[in-house]
Amino acid sequence: MKRILTILVFSMAILLAHSQAVDEIYDQSSSHQAASSTRAERRAKQQRLKTLNDSVAHNRAARALERGQWVLQADRVSLGGAAHTATGMNENANFVFQQGDQAMVQVAFNGANPGLNGLGGVTVQGRVTNARLRQGDNGELYYNFHISGADINAEVMVTVYRETGQATAIVSHTFGPAELTLHGRVLPYRRPTK
């Protein structure tokens, strides 16, 4: 836990330095300078801005996972490894989320069959146990937990890739051999208040 806190403090210092760099990028982009800058300079500025945005997304994902208040919105779902992959999925209907000690996994394939959840897929929820967050030597975040409920008993392994908010969540059911992999991005999640 101390290592995670140290990483977060260090990340916040980097974010402050990056925010100053972002301000400089925006300050320098007046219409006169934009017209006179070369294509290579504009491309370099865009690349720096993308790198900064990716770093912010990674740090937001790290804080959300540490708090246990996150959602992975999936735009691609694979069943059984990469054997059967559906792309262009609705991110609002395909997700893994955690709200404290509760978690939910939902997939909706939007087919002719309404499925168990009425969306062409399955929605299961349960209680989170054995949650562990660690950062690898390569900068990737690994978040593992067990989810158990009336309709699910599975291990969930989330990987947030280095310097991005992009992630995968592998759901390994204890009742079947097929793994479900959701590909998308990790965002902070707060349940709407009533």
The pLDDT, as a whole number, for residue 153 is 86
Diameter over CA atoms, the chain = 63
In 10 A of CB 55, how many CB atoms?
18
Strands (E) in 46-120, as ranges, are 69-79, 84-87, 95-99, 102-108
The mean-pLDDT minimum among 55-59, 133-137, 184-188 falls in: 55-59
Element (H, E) at 39: helix 39-67
For residue 87, pLDDT over 60 is answered with no
Entry pTM? 0.67
For residue 9, pLDDT over 50 is answered with no
The mean-pLDDT minimum among 21-30, 88-97, 167-176 falls in: 21-30
- Cβ contact 115:122 at 8 Å: yes
Question: Tokens in use for 55?
Answer: 């770093």
- Cβ contact 168:159 at 8 Å: yes
Residue type, 146: H
pLDDT tens profile 121-139 = 677 889 999 999 999 988 8
Residue type, 85: T
For residue 69, pLDDT over 80 is answered with yes
Residue 114: pLDDT band with limits 50, 70, 90: very low
The pLDDT, as a whole number, for residue 36 is 60
87-94 contacts, C-beta under 8 A, 24 or more apart: 91/184, 93/119, 93/121, 94/121, 94/182, 94/184
What DSSP designation does 117 have? T
The pLDDT, as a whole number, for residue 132 is 95
Spacing of C-alpha 81 from chain mean position: 19
Q: Give, in order, the Cα–Cα distances in Å from 167 to each of 31, 102, 105, 141, 180.
A: 37, 20, 15, 9, 14
CB-neighbour burial class of residue 78 (10 A; exposed 0-12, middle 13-18, buried 19+): buried
Listed in sequence order, the residues at least 6 apart from 33 whose beta carbon sits closer than 8 Å to its beta carbon are none
Mean pLDDT of 162-187: 83
